[in-house]
Structure formats: structure tokens, C-alpha cells
Amino acid sequence: MIREVVIIGSGPAGYTAALYSSRAQLDPLVFAGSLSGGQLMLTTDVENYPGFPEGVMGPDLMEYFRKQAERFGAEIVFEDVVEVDFSSQPYRVKSTSQEVEAKTVIISTGASAKLLGLEAESRLMGHGVSTCATCDGFFFRGQEIAIVGGGDSAMEEAIFLTRFADKVTVIHRRDTLRASKIMQQKAFDNPKIEFMWDSAITEVLEKDDKVSGVEVENLKSNEKSTLELTGLFVAIGHIPNTHLFEGKLDLHENGYIKTHDAVKTSVEGIFACGDVQDFTYRQAITAAGSGCMAAMDAERWLETQHS
Ligand code: NAP
């Protein structure tokens, strides 16, 4: 059996693509991955997803996405895709237990925020540690927080976080920033932002299962100090989940999938949506919107093949 649509990935983009393509009666098969749900599974309260005036927990939101897609017949398997072949029609997608043929493939494998790799960092994700200032800044009103990183994201997020926090300390491993000059200047001019140069976070401290501070090592003097705070934002870059597609689709230099006309990739009938092709907005709502576009474009493309 050749599938009309196979979807790889199960964040907001993938499940929205599944919802739209199942309602278009294309019987999509979704490879949700062994760790399904995407980055929202790592968050607690989500207050900026429209339609939830009281907010919603990230994992609950992803369960609603999945159930809604399943209600219209999307078939979801919790397996990782290990190989794809887009060299000729039908395309082939191989998972850990099966190989399927598909006329169209929608890729929504997302991106992963890079982490420092400290044990408490992952455990306290959503309990004081965050990788998304837009999502979580609001929870830190009147508090003292830190952000780690020296790039444009770190500066942009530090500036954004000063809307809520009383003080934002930027902890950076060197004594110069990677961020563009204009972003640097904006951060330097902001009276709520302080910088800790040449510094690495060696431990995330906790009290009552919440972040209470960080241990910081000065990389020049090797001196350690403790900074008390309630929030740590990690902004040291993202890694797109595109290793499967290297050499098979055109990718940007930074590894994200190149798209044109919104969600079309370099291969006809292969679409990409959500964070795997978006390094600008990176929001659940924008990912969901692009998932909808990918499903509609896949449907249109299939129609052109049948006529
Ligand atoms: P980035 O430019 O790669 O910067 C990552 C920062 O994190 C660097 O300062 C790096 O330090 C630091 N870092 C990396 N790994 C680390 C580790 N293990 N421990 C401690 N620090 C670590 O990433 P980004 O800021 O997310 O930006 C990605 C791209 O998007 C860039 O091209 C950026 O210009 C663009 N962007 C643009 C805007 C804007 O124009 N408004 C906003 C956001 C992002 P080093 O500097 O020492 O390497």
C-alpha cells in the first residue's frame, strides 16, 4: 500500500498536519518518534497558546493535539524514523520496525534547544529552567534571573526578560559577545541587565524542586561563586533535527531545511513545517500554522498528480 501522506514528527506542526490531512481523507501515517510531542513536552504552563485563557500545561496541550488528529483517523506510531529515500516516487520512509511508501512526506522533526548538560538543568526544566523567554518570561515578574549565552538570542531574550524581571544577569563564557553590535548595545544600555564575563555555570542549585541559584566558575581565575536567582534561561543555540535529510534535501548552512513558498522543500511532494525549517519565530502557534499549510499544500500537490 502506498500512503498518500506520511508525517515525520509530532510537535504542534506534525499533529496539525495530521489533523488537516486526516480531515482531507488522506489517511496520514504519523511517525511520532519514541519521544513524541516535541519541545512543549519539556515545559509546564503555556500561556501564549490562543484558545486557553487560563493557560495549559505543555504535555496536556500536546495530548489534545494528538487526540484531535486521531479523532479524524490519523494513524500514529511511536517509532523513530531511521532512514528516508526521496530519490524517486514513491518515497520511502523507514522506521525502527517498518518501511512505508508514500506519495508525499511532511517533515516536522523540529529543533532541540542546546543545553549545558548539567544534571539539574534537565530535571528543573519548567521549574525555573527555561529555553524560551517568550513562553516563560511572564512567570518571573519582580524576580532575579540569569540567562546563559552571548549570541543574538541571548541578548534579545535578556532584553525581553527585563519587562518582567527586576534583574537579568547574562552569564557568558567569553569576554566578548557573539551577538550583533546593535543587539549588544541595546543590552549594554539596559539598566536591568548585568554581565558576568568569562563565566561558566557549573551547577544549577535547587530548593523545594525549584531553581534557587547557580554556581558559576570564572574561567580565568577558576574562582567559584554562587548567584541566587529563581530562573535560568538557556540561550546557547538550537540544533535542527535534520540529520536524516542531509544530502537528500537542500539545507541552510545552519542545518535547517530550506523551504520556498512557505513549506515546500527542494524535492517535489516533500514539505517541511515547524521549527525544522523556522529559526526565526519558533513558537507553537507558528509551527501549528505551518503544519496546516504543509497539509494543504500536500493535498494540492496530490491533486495535480491525479489529474
Ligand atoms: P549563536 O549565535 O550560535 O550563539 C550561541 C551563544 O551561546 C554563543 O555566545 C556561544 O558562546 C554560547 N554557547 C554555545 N554553547 C555553549 C555552551 N555549551 N556553554 C556556554 N555557552 C555556550 O545562537 P543564537 O543566539 O541562538 O542565534 C542563532 C542565529 O540566529 C544567529 O545567526 C543569530 O544572529 C540569529 N538570531 C538573530 C536575531 C535577531 O537578529 N534579532 C535574534 C535571535 C537569533 P561563544 O560565543 O563563546 O561561541
Which of 94, 22, 32 is CA-nearest to residue 298? Answer: 22
- Are 137 and 207 part of one and the same domain? yes
d(CA 113, CA 285): 18
Which atom of ligand 1 sits closest to the CA of residue 236?
7
Name the domain boundary from 234, 261, 278.
Answer: 234
According to DSSP H, which parts of 124-179 are helical?
133-136, 152-161
- Are 104 and 253 part of one and the same domain? yes
Domain ranges, residue 280: 2-112+238-306
* CA-proximal residue: ligand 1, atom 35 (nearest): 152
Name the domain boundary from 234, 266, 293.
Answer: 234
| Positions marked active-site | 132, 135-136
Distinct helix (H) and strand (E) counts, the chain: 7, 19
d(CA 294, CA 269): 10
Which residue stretches of the chain have pLDDT < 70? 307
- Are 199 and 274 part of one and the same domain? no
d(CA 286, CA 12): 9
Which atom of ligand 1 sits closest to the CA of residue 117?
18
- Are 105 and 122 part of one and the same domain? no
- Are 245 and 108 part of one and the same domain? yes
Question: Quick one: pLDDT at residue 307?
Answer: 66
68, three cell numbers:
484531535
d(CA 98, CA 82): 10
Tell me how far the alpha carbon of residue 134 lies from the centroid of ligand 1, in angstroms.
16
Task: Note the pTM of the prediction, 2 decimals.
Answer: 0.82
SS3 at position 290: helix
Which of 188, 151, 153 is CA-nearest to residue 173? Answer: 151
- Are 208 and 247 part of one and the same domain? no
Q: Are 273 and 13 spatial neighbours (Cβ–Cβ below 8 Å)?
A: yes
Name the amino acid, one letter, at 176.
Answer: T
Which residue among 152, 278, 281 has the greatest number of ligand 1 atoms within 8 angstroms of its CB, and so is best to mutate? 152
Quick one: the chain helix, strand, coil %, rounded to 5? 30, 30, 40
Q: Across all residues in the chain, what is the average pLDDT? A: 96
- Are 26 and 104 part of one and the same domain? yes
Residues with CB under 6 A from ligand 1: 114, 116, 148-154, 156, 173-174, 178, 236-237, 279
Count of domains in the chain?
2
Q: Are 159 and 145 spatial neighbours (Cβ–Cβ below 8 Å)?
A: no
In this predicted model, what pLDDT tens digit does every residue of 80-106 receive, in sequence order? 999 999 999 999 999 999 999 999 999
Question: Quick one: pLDDT at residue 42?
Answer: 74
- Are 276 and 296 part of one and the same domain? yes
Question: Measured between alpha carbons, how far is residue 162 from residues 48, 59, 136, 167 in Å?
Answer: 18, 28, 13, 7
Which residue among 116, 153, 239 has the greatest number of ligand 1 atoms within 8 angstroms of its CB, and so is best to mutate? 153
DSSP 147: E
d(CA 202, CA 243): 30
- Are 122 and 97 part of one and the same domain? no
- Are 192 and 206 part of one and the same domain? yes
Q: Residue 73's domain is classified under what CATH number? A: 3.50.50.60
- Are 102 and 251 part of one and the same domain? yes
- Are 121 and 167 part of one and the same domain? yes
Question: Quick one: pLDDT at residue 34?
Answer: 86
* CA-proximal residue: ligand 1, atom 34 (nearest): 152
Largest CA distance in the chain: 71
Question: Quick one: pLDDT at residue 54?
Answer: 95
Name the domain boundary from 180, 206, 234.
Answer: 234
